[in-house]
Copies of this chain bind each other. A is one copy, B any other.
Amino acid sequence: MTAPVIGRGEARALDEEDELAAFRGRFVIDEAAPLYFDGNSLGRLPRSTPARLLQVVEEEWGRGLVGSWSFWMDRPRVVGDFLAEHLLGAGAGEVVVGDSTTVNFYKLVVAALEARPDRRVIVTDETNFPSDRYVLQGLAEQRGLELRLTTGDPGPAEIAAAVAGGDVALVTLSHVSFHSGAMLDLPAITAAAHAGRALILWDLSHAVGAVPVRLEEDGVDLAVGCAYKYLNGGPGAPAFTYVRRGLQEQLRQPIWGWFGAADQFAMGPNYRPAPGIDRFSVGTPPIVGLASVEEGAAMVAEAGVDRVRRKSLDLTDLAIGLFDEWLAPLGAELVTPRAIERRGSHLSFRHPDAWPICRALIENHRVVPDFREPDVLRFGFAPLYTRFVDAWDAIDRLREVLARREYEAFSSERSRVT
């Protein structure tokens, strides 16, 4: 399956027809700055966010003071309900926002393990996001559990095989892989996990706001995800937690805090979990961060995830077409699956010199992709602000870097990136 190659003029024409083109103007973009292809790592700043944050800080905090808790109290669930309805295909009362993705992941993994006390195995993929793998390792070590690893972007058959023994408590995977850009078959894998009577927990960090997610329709048990990538919520923005309604009262959330307690201000001697999704909250919620998440997510909701997804596929189609024509002959390998139903919104290219290539793109060509160990170059195509001509230019410059071996000048460098 090869996508058609187009010229730069055709890319420009696509921008002119783009029904989402106007959204680009709603982000802070310095047109003199390098071309940014790292929205899959840190999304851009919406123009409306600074004013919104000032309103929260100056009015709600500065003037409203402690009285603002009358409405702040509900913010984790209000923002959660918004994400549920517009971006996650979940119901009201199934999503709450707060804490980091990793802390939320920990809470749900522990809750899932304790809901399946007779099962001693957790299934994940060896290429899953490190923070998720580390949480699982820590719990496996502490509880004497087995961590059963699939070997790279599994499909439903691999998951069916992994759970076939009836010993698996939990299957947890990323919907879109941070590393390969592959989108896993969420509905079929969820069904496979359920067929083995395992619970399933999806990390939606690289999916939410970029691909349609239908948690309820697909019968997903548990999910977490981050708000600073395609939701443009800002660095370290609070993350979300989804728990299927029918499961909420059965699960024991392990970190018992006052914001997860019923009748919180009774401050009674004994913890009773709050009804519903609130029990998955812990401490005082990050009010400024919640506003930033809401502001970013609202723009994605306004654009509509289905339209965002269509443009994302058009952008990656264009890039894959140019890849086949220009880059494959120069030694780069496309890691991301070509099938549109297996592709997220970033593309990963493998090349033995990926790191110096990344440096050459930034230094010589003012194009910002990112690098992931050991040999992967990632290009994020965030549809709300990435133009077709940007995608064309980026691949064109990558071609130059490869064709002229510009990366050789950077081959002695080594560094860390996010």
Name the B residues within 8 Å of A130 (CB-CB).
258, 261, 264, 267-268
Interface hits, A48-69 → B, CB 8 Å: 49-50, 53-54, 57-58, 60-63, 65-69
Q: Identify the closest chain B residue to A67 (Cβ).
A: B368
Q: Are B99 and A99 in contact (CB under 8 A)?
A: yes
Q: Beta-carbon contacts of A114-130 to B below 8 Å, as 1s and 0s? A: 10000000000010011
Q: Is A250 interfacial (CB-CB < 8 Å)?
A: no
Which of A63, A235, A266 is the most central at the interface, judged by chain B CB atoms within 10 Å of its CB? A235
Q: Identify the closest chain B residue to A30 (Cβ).
A: B63
Number of residues in A with C-beta < 8 Å to the partner? Answer: 86
**Which of B49, B50, B134 makes the CB contact (< 8 A) with A258?**
B134
Q: Are B368 and A257 in contact (CB under 8 A)?
A: no
Interface hits, A91-122 → B, CB 8 Å: 98-103, 106, 114
User: Given A130-B261, A254-B142, does the pair A284, B57 have CB atoms closer than 8 Å?
Assistant: no
Q: Are B103 and A265 in contact (CB under 8 A)?
A: no
Instruction: Determine how close the nearest CB of chain B comes to the CB of A180; give it in whole angstroms.
Output: 13
Q: Could you tell me the distance between the alpha carbons of A60 and B44 in the complex, rounded to whole angstroms?
A: 11
User: Given A228-B284, A256-B137, does the pair A267, B63 have CB atoms closer than 8 Å?
Assistant: no
**Which of B41, B138, B267 makes the CB contact (< 8 A) with A372?**
B267
Q: Could you tell me the distance between the alpha carbons of A257 and B289 in the complex, rounded to whole angstroms?
A: 20
Instruction: Determine how close the nearest CB of chain B comes to the CB of A240; give it in whole angstroms.
Output: 13
Q: Beta-carbon contacts of A210-240 to B below 8 Å, as 1s and 0s? A: 0000000000000000101000001111110
Name the B residues within 8 Å of A131 (CB-CB).
257-259, 283
Q: Are A418 and B135 in contact (CB under 8 A)?
A: no
Q: Beta-carbon contacts of A261-285 to B below 8 Å, as 1s and 0s? A: 1001111111100000000001111
Q: Is A287 interfacial (CB-CB < 8 Å)?
A: yes
Q: Are A38 and B62 in contact (CB under 8 A)?
A: no
Instruction: Determine how close the nearest CB of chain B comes to the CB of A297; give it in whole angstroms.
Output: 16
Q: Is A28 interfacial (CB-CB < 8 Å)?
A: yes
Q: Could you tell me the distance between the alpha carbons of A284 and B102 in the complex, rounded to whole angstroms?
A: 8
Q: Is A255 interfacial (CB-CB < 8 Å)?
A: yes
Q: Could you tell me the distance between the alpha carbons of A137 and B44 in the complex, rounded to whole angstroms?
A: 42
Q: Is A171 interfacial (CB-CB < 8 Å)?
A: no
Q: Are B103 and A234 in contact (CB under 8 A)?
A: no
Q: Are A255 and B58 in contact (CB under 8 A)?
A: no
Q: Is A373 interfacial (CB-CB < 8 Å)?
A: yes
User: Given A99-B100, A286-B237, does the pair A58, B65 have CB atoms closer than 8 Å?
Assistant: no
Q: Is A184 interfacial (CB-CB < 8 Å)?
A: no
Q: Identify the closest chain B residue to A238 (Cβ).
A: B286
Q: Are B100 and A283 in contact (CB under 8 A)?
A: yes
Q: Are A284 and B101 in contact (CB under 8 A)?
A: yes
User: Given A28-B63, A62-B44, A99-B99, does the pair A235, B284 have CB atoms closer than 8 Å?
Assistant: yes
Q: Are A66 and B287 in contact (CB under 8 A)?
A: no
Q: Could you tell me the distance between the alpha carbons of A114 and B252 in the complex, rounded to whole angstroms?
A: 21
Q: Are A257 and B38 in contact (CB under 8 A)?
A: no
**Which of B58, B63, B73 makes the CB contact (< 8 A) with A50?**
B58
Q: Is A157 interfacial (CB-CB < 8 Å)?
A: no
Q: Could you tell me the distance between the alpha carbons of A67 and B417 in the complex, rounded to whole angstroms?
A: 8
Q: Are B126 and A236 in contact (CB under 8 A)?
A: no
Q: Beta-carbon contacts of A331-361 to B below 8 Å, as 1s and 0s? A: 0000000000000000000000000000000
Q: Could you tell me the distance between the alpha carbons of A321 and B131 in the complex, rounded to whole angstroms?
A: 55
Q: Mark A residues whose CB is within 8 Å of B.
A: 28, 30, 33, 36, 38, 41-42, 44-45, 49-50, 53-54, 57-58, 60-63, 65-69, 72-73, 98-103, 106, 114, 126, 129-131, 133-135, 137-138, 142, 226, 228, 234-239, 252, 254-261, 264-271, 282-290, 292, 368, 370, 372-373, 416-418
